[in-house]
Each structure stands twice: as structure tokens, then as C-alpha cells.
Structure 1
């Protein structure tokens, strides 16, 4: 077994590369500018194109989605026209796993039409990884090129940078877009409101919660009403769902 010294040249190079990019990724306040920086980093790693998708957990039925890409415009239109997002294995994989994946014939076996069309647009070689944060917001970074396949050596050399970039772009995009697309995530619930909401999630009525917490039923309803307002929810059931998905219930 080979043991890599913590100060080996490769790790020093990776650390220096990260430090060089970190400040910009943390301070940019525009999603388009952040994507441009990410695309330039992806290009420096040997890929022609990239895309980044951000999916908010709310609304539950139709989550808000933002997609930024520098793929060929004709491919973007074709992808949308054919509804490929519904059968895209990278999206399906990213929804269920945070493990990175390298594109291959086997990986796209269930979506041959998508794979063949993508290759016809020069999207022949690719890598993708998803990410999530405490608000249950999901991000997916995909990079691609038309040239040489990704070798084991290249993957070993670049996967750390790609994984790091995936996390940093997600944190940046989430920071920029959450306040605009999901203001509920910024709501500040009091300890008592959280306590009442937890019991509501257990199916307890306001009267039962009042008995459990030794407060009046009117006070229990007051806290529930406050939570509904803060989370912009239509009722207490929706408030419980939103709070749970946003990680507010602990």
C-alpha cells in the first residue's frame, strides 16, 4: 500500500489551487458571474462545457429549479424539447446519490436516445456530481468535452478539484439564490414555535399541545399561526412539511 505524505507536491498543488479560487467563489453575488467563474475553472481542468442545476425543496409539488449552462444552444433547446430531464441518468443518479459518476455507454443504457443525441452535439465525455445543504437544496454539476475519454490517471488527478468545485459552487449558488427563490429558508422560529411545531408534526391538536407544554390552547394556536405566517404556508400541515424540509425541526 502506498502512503501519501501529507505535504506531498500533489496535495500542495491542490491546496494552492483551492485557495486561489476560494475568495472569488465566496464573494461573488451574481449567479451568472459565479457560473462564469466555475466554467473557467472547469475549462482549466480540461473540459469544454459545464452545467449547474439548483433545485429548491419548495414548493413540494413543483420545486423551483435554476439551470445555468454553456452547452451548445441547439442542444439546450433539443434537451428541453424532448423532455430529457425526465430520463437523464445524471439527474436521476444525483437525486439519490452524492457519489460522482463518469459518463459511459453503460451509465446511459436506459436512455440511448439521449446519449446518442448528446454525443452528436459533441458531449461525448463527462463527469457529474450532486450536492446538498442543510436546507435540502440540491445542486448538480456536470462537465463534458468531445475529446479523449477520462482515464483513471486523469480521474485520480482531477477528481479532488472537481468534487471541491461541486461543493463550492453549490454553497455559492445557494447563498445567492435561496433568499430570492425560497425566502422561507431565512425564517427565524423561536424555540417555543419549534416545540409546538414538532408536536403538531406528531399529529397533536392545539389542545393536546397545550396540555403537554403546560400552556393555554390560545397560546398554542398563537404559535402555530406565527409559524404559518413566517413560512408563508397556507395551513399548519404545510408549515410542518416546510419546516421539516428546511431542517428547522432538528
Structure 2
């Protein structure tokens, strides 16, 4: 790779990083696909690391695999034997698919996955593992003859990581507006401990009618018919904890 080509990859990666946090999901995916296509990668997937009882469809965050390959992969449960995500679970370093270790003779199932992938144009691939507190993921991309020069791979890593993190943040549930006030939660918590309105008023140094008012308001907000139901709903929603 020439110095000029290396500079181009650097500019592409930095432009993507600069724009990623401002893009919505579809725009981000379009730009990500455009960038990796420039490197000869015709397909990709972003998915969680293999876990017991979870298939690829459950773990997928963004899917750019050929449809037939994805359907075959899911149907045959290839995630259980694929050496690429398995290796991704053991390393923090990006790697080419050919570097994922397995014994062709002893592990024929793994070799079958890699062979079938080539039938869909996924001849050479590059995998970027990600590990975070609550789990991990892989960004795996492939093509017939992708650019696997170290500079290009470095750019793919930067682009892939920022794309994945942005998609994750867009999928993260937005925090809900607090349903109850802190005083309502406090009173419901004491009610959950079996305290009467009068006892709660003594504990909190407020009037008994104020306690009853807050219990009524909390019940309305929770669509509960009485204080017992309000307490049950507040516990179920995690608004109070015993």
C-alpha cells in the first residue's frame, strides 16, 4: 500500500469517527457499509459472543451477511462450531479468519462452516472482538479479496468499533420519566412494611392526611385500585425495594 492510500484510509476512518455520534441508525449503517466496501468487504455482521442457549438471530445487532448464508448459519446452528466467534471470545486482538485456530481433521464441523462461507463469497475475513463489563461481541466482515493490509485493517477496526458502539447506544432503552416522586416512593415503602398511614406520618414527621394524599396520588399514577395494589405494582416495577 502506498503512503497516499494509507493516508486515504486514515482520513476515511477519522471522518467516520467524527460523524458517527450524529448519525441515526440507517445513516450509520449506510456509511459503515460504504466504508468497508471500499476495502473489498462485501458482507459483515455485528453480534454478541456465543452463549449457551442463544442462537445467532438472538445475538445479532446488525446483519449484513448474504441472506442465504445467514439463513443457513441459523438453521444449522453454526455459531456453536464456528471457530471465528469462538476465537473472538478468547482474544482482544483483531484477527483474520484464517488465524482462528482449529484442526481440520479433528474438527470437521468447524471446517464445514469455513468451507460453506466461501460458497457465498466470504473467502477471506477479518474479525474485531469487543469485550465489555456485561458481555462481548464480534464485528466480522468478509469478501472475496478484501484489503488486508495492516493500515486498511487498522482503519476497519476503528470504523467497526465506533459503528458498533453507536448502534449499541441507539438500541439502549431510553430512561423513562420517573413515575413516582421520591416522597411517594418513601411512603409506599413504609406501607410495604405494613405501616399504617398514621404510623407513617409519625415516622416521617408529616400529617396523616398528607400521607393519605400521597398514597392516593401514587395509586392513581400506578393505576392501582388501593394502596395494597399500589405497593405490589411499585415493587414489580422496581420503584421500591424491600
Q: Which bin holds the TM-score, normalised by the shorter protein? A: 0.5 to 0.7
Runs of at least 5 residues in structure 1 that lack an aligned partner in the other structure: 1-7, 185-224, 237-250
**Within 5 Å, which residues of 2 pair with 1:41-190?**
41-54=35-48, 65-104=59-98, 107=101, 109=104, 110=107, 111-133=110-132, 135-147=133-145, 154-179=148-173
- Taking the aligned partners of 1:71 and 1:61, their CA distance within structure 2 comes to 22
Q: How far apart, CA to CA, are the structure 1 residues paired with 2:81 and 2:10?
A: 37
SS in 1 for 2:172: helix
Which residue does 1:27 correspond to in 2?
A: 22
| TM-score, normalisation: structure 1 | 0.58
Which has more radius of gyration? 2
- Tell me, in whole angstroms, the C-alpha distance in 2 between the residues paired with 1:13 and 1:120: 32
Deviation (angstroms), 1:158: 0.9
What root-mean-square deviation, in Å, do the aligned CA atoms of Structure 1 and Structure 2 show?
3.7
Task: Could you tell me which runs of 5 or more consecutive residues in structure 2 were left unpaired when the two chains were aligned.
Answer: 177-233
Residues 116, 11 of structure 1: CA spacing in aligned structure 2 closer, same or farther, 3 A cutoff? closer
Tell me, yes or no, if the aligned pair for 1:118 and 1:124 is still in contact at 8 Å. Answer: yes
What SS does the corresponding residue of 1:122 show, helix, strand or coil?
Answer: coil
Spell out, residue by residue over 1:124-144, the C-alpha distance to the aligned partner (whole angstroms, 9 max, x if none). Answer: 1111011134x5342311111
Q: State the number of aligned residues.
A: 175
Cα offsets for 1:43-91 (capped at 9, x unmatched): 012211111114699xx98696334222221111100110001111121
Quote the Cα distance in structure 1 between the aligned partners of 2:97 and 2:33: 19
Q: Return the TM-score normalized by structure 2.
A: 0.59
Runs of 4+ in 1 over 3 A off after TM superposition: 8-15, 54-57, 60-64, 105-110
